[in-house]
A = this chain, B = another copy of it.
Amino acid sequence: MADNKKLVAEITSMDEDFTQWYTDVCIKADLVSYSNIKGCMVIKPAGYAIWELIQKHLDARFKATGVQNAYLPMFIPESLLQKEKDHVEGFAPEVAWVTHGGLEPLAERFCVRPTSETLFCDYYKGEIHSYKDLPQVLNQWCSVVRWEKETRPFLRSREFLWQEGHTAHATFEEAEERTQQMLNVYADFLENDMAIPVIKGQKTDKEKFAGAEATYTVEALMHDGRALQSATSHNFGDGFAKAFGIQYAGKDNQLHYVNQTSWGLTTRTIGAMIMVHGDNSGLVVPPKIAPIQVVVIPIQQKKEGVLEAANKIAESLSAFRVKVDDTDRTPGFKFAEQEMRGIPVRVEIGPKDLEAGKCVLCRRDTREKIECAIEDVPAKMAELLDQIQNDMFQRAKAHLEAHTFAAHNKDEFAENFKETNGFVKAMWCGCRECEDKIKEEFNVTSRCIPFEQENLSDKCVICGQPAKKMVYWGRAY
Chain B residues closer than 8 Å to A97, beta-carbon distance: 98-101
Q: How far is the CA of A52 from the CA of B141 in the complex (A)?
A: 11
Chain B residues closer than 8 Å to A75, beta-carbon distance: 37, 40, 96, 159
Chain B residues closer than 8 Å to A71, beta-carbon distance: 42-43, 48, 51, 143, 161
Chain B residue at minimal CB-CB distance from A125 = B36
Chain B residues closer than 8 Å to A143, beta-carbon distance: 71, 74, 142-143
Chain B residue at minimal CB-CB distance from A132 = B327
Q: How far is the CA of A70 from the CA of B42 in the complex (A)?
A: 8
Answer whether residue A45 sits at the interface, using C-beta atoms and an 8 A cutoff: yes
Chain B residues closer than 8 Å to A158, beta-carbon distance: 101
Known: A98-B96, A102-B93, A112-B98. Is A49-B73 also a contact (CB below 8 A)? no
Q: How far is the CA of A69 from the CA of B161 in the complex (A)?
A: 14
Answer whether residue A356 sits at the interface, using C-beta atoms and an 8 A cutoff: no
Chain B residues closer than 8 Å to A40, beta-carbon distance: 73-75
Q: How far is the CA of A33 from the CA of B95 in the complex (A)?
A: 26
Q: A48 touches which one: B69, B76, B95, B100 (CB < 8 A)?
A: B69
Q: Name the residue among A68, A75, A119 with the largest chain B CB count within 10 angstroms.
A: A75
Answer whether residue A168 sits at the interface, using C-beta atoms and an 8 A cutoff: no
Chain B residues closer than 8 Å to A49, beta-carbon distance: 68-69
User: Are B73 and A45 neighbours in the complex by a CB distance under 8 Å?
Assistant: no
Task: List CB contacts (< 8 Å) of A34-62 with chain B.
Answer: 35-37, 40-45, 48-49, 51-52
Task: List CB contacts (< 8 Å) of A112-159 with chain B.
Answer: 112, 119, 122-123, 126-127, 138, 142-143, 145, 147, 158-159
Chain B residues closer than 8 Å to A101, beta-carbon distance: 96-97, 147, 158
User: From residue A326, how far is it (CB to closest CB) to chain B in Å?
Assistant: 15
Answer whether residue A77 sits at the interface, using C-beta atoms and an 8 A cutoff: yes
Q: A45 touches which one: B52, B68, B103, B112 (CB < 8 A)?
A: B68
Answer whether residue A398 sits at the interface, using C-beta atoms and an 8 A cutoff: no
User: From residue A92, how far is it (CB to closest CB) to chain B in Å?
Assistant: 8
Q: A96 touches which one: B33, B72, B100, B159 (CB < 8 A)?
A: B100
Answer whether residue A370 sits at the interface, using C-beta atoms and an 8 A cutoff: no
Answer whether residue A353 sits at the interface, using C-beta atoms and an 8 A cutoff: no
User: From residue A218, how far is it (CB to closest CB) to chain B in Å?
Assistant: 24
User: Are B70 and A48 neighbours in the complex by a CB distance under 8 Å?
Assistant: yes
Answer whether residue A80 sits at the interface, using C-beta atoms and an 8 A cutoff: yes
Q: A73 touches which one: B37, B44, B72 (CB < 8 A)?
A: B37
Q: How far is the CA of A95 from the CA of B68 in the complex (A)?
A: 31
Answer whether residue A413 sits at the interface, using C-beta atoms and an 8 A cutoff: no
Answer whether residue A188 sits at the interface, using C-beta atoms and an 8 A cutoff: no
User: From residue A62, how far is it (CB to closest CB) to chain B in Å?
Assistant: 12
User: From residue A102, how far is it (CB to closest CB) to chain B in Å?
Assistant: 4
Q: A69 touches which one: B52, B70, B74, B99 (CB < 8 A)?
A: B52
Q: How far is the CA of A70 from the CA of B43 in the complex (A)?
A: 6
User: Are A33 and B159 neighbours in the complex by a CB distance under 8 Å?
Assistant: no
Answer whether residue A22 sits at the interface, using C-beta atoms and an 8 A cutoff: no
User: From residue A80, how far is it (CB to closest CB) to chain B in Å?
Assistant: 7
Answer whether residue A94 sits at the interface, using C-beta atoms and an 8 A cutoff: yes
User: From residue A57, how far is it (CB to closest CB) to chain B in Å?
Assistant: 16
Q: Name the residue among A69, A70, A110, A126 with the largest chain B CB count within 10 angstroms.
A: A70
Chain B residues closer than 8 Å to A95, beta-carbon distance: 102
User: From residue A270, how far is it (CB to closest CB) to chain B in Å?
Assistant: 12
Chain B residues closer than 8 Å to A52, beta-carbon distance: 69
Q: How far is the CA of A18 from the CA of B21 in the complex (A)?
A: 61
User: From residue A121, how far is it (CB to closest CB) to chain B in Å?
Assistant: 11
Q: How far is the CA of A322 from the CA of B370 in the complex (A)?
A: 46
Could you list some 12 contacts between A and B, CB below 8 A? A33-B127, A35-B73, A37-B110, A41-B73, A42-B123, A45-B69, A45-B70, A48-B68, A71-B143, A74-B159, A96-B102, A97-B101
In the A-B complex, the 9 residue pairs with the closest CB atoms:
A40-B73, A45-B68, A101-B147, A97-B100, A43-B71, A102-B147, A37-B73, A99-B99, A96-B98
Question: Which A residues fall within an 8 A CB radius of B?
Answer: 33, 35-37, 40-45, 48-49, 51-52, 68-77, 80, 93-103, 110, 112, 119, 122-123, 126-127, 138, 142-143, 145, 147, 158-159, 161
Known: A42-B70, A95-B102, A98-B112. 13 other contacts (CB 8 A): A33-B123, A33-B127, A35-B122, A37-B73, A40-B75, A48-B69, A52-B69, A74-B112, A74-B143, A74-B159, A96-B102, A97-B98, A98-B98
